[in-house]
Amino acid sequence: MIRDATPEDAAAIGAIWNPIIRDTAITFWPTPRSDAEIRDYIAAKQDAGHGVFVAESNGSVTAFAAYGQFRTGGGYAHSMEHTIYTTPAARGAGLGAALLRHLEDHARHRGARLMIGGITGSNAGSIAFHARHGYAEWGRIPAAGFKFGQWHELVLMGKDLSR
* 63: helix, strand or coil: strand
Contacts of 66 (CB under 8 A, 6+ apart): 5, 41, 42, 45, 50, 51, 52, 53, 82, 83, 103
Per-residue pLDDT of the chain (163 residues; tens, 9 = 90+): 999 999 999 999 999 999 999 999 999 999 999 999 999 999 999 999 999 999 999 999 999 999 999 999 999 999 999 999 999 999 988 999 999 999 999 999 999 999 999 999 999 999 999 999 999 999 999 999 999 999 999 999 999 999 9
Report CA 134 to chain centroid distance, whole Å.
Answer: 16
pTM > 0.85: yes or no = yes
How far is it, in rounded angstroms, from Cα 24 to Cα 68?
Answer: 23
CATH topology classification for 2-160:
Aminopeptidase (3.40.630)
Closest CA to 45 of 63, 65, 29: 65
* 126: helix, strand or coil: helix
Tell me what pLDDT residue 25 has.
Answer: 97
Tell me what pLDDT residue 131 has.
Answer: 98
Domain-wise residue ranges, the chain: 2-160
Tell me what pLDDT residue 92 has.
Answer: 87
In 124-144, which positions are buried (b, 16+ CB within 10 angstroms) versus exposed (e)? eebbebbeebebeeeeeeeeb
Q: Which amino acid, 45?
A: K
Tell me what pLDDT residue 137 has.
Answer: 98
- Between the alpha carbon of residue 144 and those of residues 120, 141, 153, the distances in Å are 9, 6, 6
Contact indicator for 76, 68 with CB cutoff of 8 Å: no
Q: Among the residues of 48-120, which ranges form H helices? A: 95-109
Tell me what pLDDT residue 60 has.
Answer: 95
